[in-house]
Structures are given as structure tokens and as C-alpha cells.
């Protein structure tokens, strides 16, 4: 549409230019042609040149508008609104500051100074408005991304590891995750990069994450994908930290390093692994546990098995019963930063 409009306007401008040239010179004295013939030739020539140039200019203008549209789509609504408000406030301030400058001589200097002040005030207004983004995100949560949050519940931002892990879906259904579940566009982009990887493991993880995300969006979990503009930050983890700080939301992850780094910066983090570990049943020394020994341990006479929740159990005296289901007695429990490990001694084969 832009190309057609530009061509039409350029054609009119070219034809008008040809008409103006035909009237500016007495062509009957310069040539032997009729003035009407000269008028026709110049109008057609000017219109044709305008039509051709209009197509070239129109395509360039259309490309610029498309890039601008893509850029605007990447900007969060709250940033766009704040930028416009800050721009208007800055221009209003510039008008008042420029009133006494109109009398500067020469006039060209006054115009230059006024334009400079207007530009600085507009830029300062936008920057100052965006500094208060977090407050605006609290006041207008829908503009910050997503909708339908539970009253008073902070928004939950899922990182790549949480989407691939998928356990947050069951936590949501069980009522442990309230508020909006949001996935930033740059997390989806990272999943796509993983899915396109040449490494089989990374490719499988990326595809699993994309499939889970699509299933959850189509289901009853109301997981929403939104665009957040943090192009000046390269690392996805740092983008998530900045997003959570700006919006006052909570990060949902299974990444141990991201959990520690984000908490140091004051971000609220919900680590799915930590919650899973906290919900595991406590086993005290002297309790009996029944499990299957699946492999040998690192130390002599040790066998290793696992509980249903994934807790590793090291059984002293279980090396001779690999593959068998046995009764054991808990001797000690070791709690680590990554989970819980139980030490037990063999009692009997079931």
C-alpha cells in the first residue's frame, strides 16, 4: 500500500514538474514543436520519472516501516506507554524553556538552540519515565505482560530450564503456583536455538521444551508468551534477572547457579528442585526402607538404590544383592545443596 501511494504522489509531483517547466519557457521560440505537444511530452516524461522513483522510494519507505513495526512489537507495552508519556512531558518542558530564547539574534541561532533543547528534554523525559518502569508495572500489570493474575500474587517468569523440566505444570495444577505464568520471548528464542542444535542431547531438550510450552499454552495452565525488550543485555539469565527486578515478579527455575545469582541481586526465586526436596518425606535413623538395589556403590560392599522421589540410598552390604528388592534400615541422612542422600544397612531380601 505504501509503495502504491508513494508512486501516485511521485507521479503527480513529476507531472506537475513537467507542466511547470513547459510553462516557464516559450518553447515555440526554442523548438518548432507545438506548445501543446511540448506540454504533453514534458508531463508524460515527468510523470514517468516520478512513477519510477516513487516505486524505489516507496519500497525503501515500506522496509523502514516494517523494521519499525517489528521493533515496536518487541517493546513491552509499559515501556512504549512510558516512553510516549516521557516524550510528551519533555517536549512540554522544552516549550517553556524555549520561550525566552525566541529573541536571540540571529534567528537561525535561536532555532538551533531551541531544537537542541527540545531534543535533550524529549530524551531526558523518556529516560526518566523508563527509570520508573517497575512502579508502572505494578500499577498496570497487564501492560507489563500477560493477564489474569491471581489477586496479590506476583507474576512468575519461567526460565529455559523450568520449561524443559516441566514439573511446574503439576505444581500449578496442585495450587502451589499462583499468579500469571509468563515466558519471555527471549526464552522461547533460546529453546529454538537448542532445538536447532547439532548436538542430539541439546536438540532433544529444546524440542521437549517447545512441545511442553505449546501443550501448556493450549491447555488449562494459561502460560503466556510475551515480548520483553532487553536487547542491550546479551545473556538470557541476566535478562531474566533484570525483567524480574523491573516488574517485581518471581523467577521459576531449576538452575542452581541462576538461583544463587538472582537471590544475591534481590530477586525472588522459586527453585523447583528445592521445593521437590522440601516435599520429600523425612527418613530418620532406625526407620526401615524397602527398595531395589540397581548397581554397585563406589565403596566396597555398597549397593545403590533409589526411592520413588529420586532420593539416592547407599546400602552397606547390598553389593551382593544387585537387582533384588531388599529391606534396609536407615543409619544416617546427608542433606546437600543439590538434594538428600540416605545411608542404610542391608537387612534382608524380600
Q: What is the pLDDT of residue 133?
A: 59
Nearest in space to 41 (alpha carbons), one of 55, 31, 56: 31
What count of Cα atoms within 13 Å lies in the side-chain half-sphere of residue 158?
A: 34
Task: Encode pLDDT of 94-135 as tens digits.
Answer: 888 888 877 777 777 778 888 888 888 888 887 787 666 555
pTM score, two decimals? 0.48
* 169-to-147, 179, 211, 223, 253 alpha-carbon distances in Å: 18, 13, 13, 10, 12
d(CA 277, CA 287): 19
* Contact yes or no for 168/177 (Cβ under 8 A): yes
Strands (E) across the chain are located at 156-158, 181-184, 223-226, 250-253, 268-271, 288-296, 302-306, 312-316, 325-336, 339-349
The pLDDT tens digits along the chain (350 residues) read 777 888 888 888 888 888 887 777 666 666 666 777 777 888 888 888 888 888 888 888 888 877 777 666 656 666 777 778 888 988 898 888 888 877 777 777 778 888 888 888 888 887 787 666 555 555 555 555 444 444 456 788 989 998 888 888 888 888 787 777 888 888 888 989 999 988 888 899 899 888 888 887 776 677 888 887 677 788 888 888 888 888 788 899 988 888 899 899 888 898 888 887 777 777 888 899 999 999 998 888 999 999 887 788 999 999 888 989 999 999 998 876 566 789 999 999 88
Amino acid at each position: 500500500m505504501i509503495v502504491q501511494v508513494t508512486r501516485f504522489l511521485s507521479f503527480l509531483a513529476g507531472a506537475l514538474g513537467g507542466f511547470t517547466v513547459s510553462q516557464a519557457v516559450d518553447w515555440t521560440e526554442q523548438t518548432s514543436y507545438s506548445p501543446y505537444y511540448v506540454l504533453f511530452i514534458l508531463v508524460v516524461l515527468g510523470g514517468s520519472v516520478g512513477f519510477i522513483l516513487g516505486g524505489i522510494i516507496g519500497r525503501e519507505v515500506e522496509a523502514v516501516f516494517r523494521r519499525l513495526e517489528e521493533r515496536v512489537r518487541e517493546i513491552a507495552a509499559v515501556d512504549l506507554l512510558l516512553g510516549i508519556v516521557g516524550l510528551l512531558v519533555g517536549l512540554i518542558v522544552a516549550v517553556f524553556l524555549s520561550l525566552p530564547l525566541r529573541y536571540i539574534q540571529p534567528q537561525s541561532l535561536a532555532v538551533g538552540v531551541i531544537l537542541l533543547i527540545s531534543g535533550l528534554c524529549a530524551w531526558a523525559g523518556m529516560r526518566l519515565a523508563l527509570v520508573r518502569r517497575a512502579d508502572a508495572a505494578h500499577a498496570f500489570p497487564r501492560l507489563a505482560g500477560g493477564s489474569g493474575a491471581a489477586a496479590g500474587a506476583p507474576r512468575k517468569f519461567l526460565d529455559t530450564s523450568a520449561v524443559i523440566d516441566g514439573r511446574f505444570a503439576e505444581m500449578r495444577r496442585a495450587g502451589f503456583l499462583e499468579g500469571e505464568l509468563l515466558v519471555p520471548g527471549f526464552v522461547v528464542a533460546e529453546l529454538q536455538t537448542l532445538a536447532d542444535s547439532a548436538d542430539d542431547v541439546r536438540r532433544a531438550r529444546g524440542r521437549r521444551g517447545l512441545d511442553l510450552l505449546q501443550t501448556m499454552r493450549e491447555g488449562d495452565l494459561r502460560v503466556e508468551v510475551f515480548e520483553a525488550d532487553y536487547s542491550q543485555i546479551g545473556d538470557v539469565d541476566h535478562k531474566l534477572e533484570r525483567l524480574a527486578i523491573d516488574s517485581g515478579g518471581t523467577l521459576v527455575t531449576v538452575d542452581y547457579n541462576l538461583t544463587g545469582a538472582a537471590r544475591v541481586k534481590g530477586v525472588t526465586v522459586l527453585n523447583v528442585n528445592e521445593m521437590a526436596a522440601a516435599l520429600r518425606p523425612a527418613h530418620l535413623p532406625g526407620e526401615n526402607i524397602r527398595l531395589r538395589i540397581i548397581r554397585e556403590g563406589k565403596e566396597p560392599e555398597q549397593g545403590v538404590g533409589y526411592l520413588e522421589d529420586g532420593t539416592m540410598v547407599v546400602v552397606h552390604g547390598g553389593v551382593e544383592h544387585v537387582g533384588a528388592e531388599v529391606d534396609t534400615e536407615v543409619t544416617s541422612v546427608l542433606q546437600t545443596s543439590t538434594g538428600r542422600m540416605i545411608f542404610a544397612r542391608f537387612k534382608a531380601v524380600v
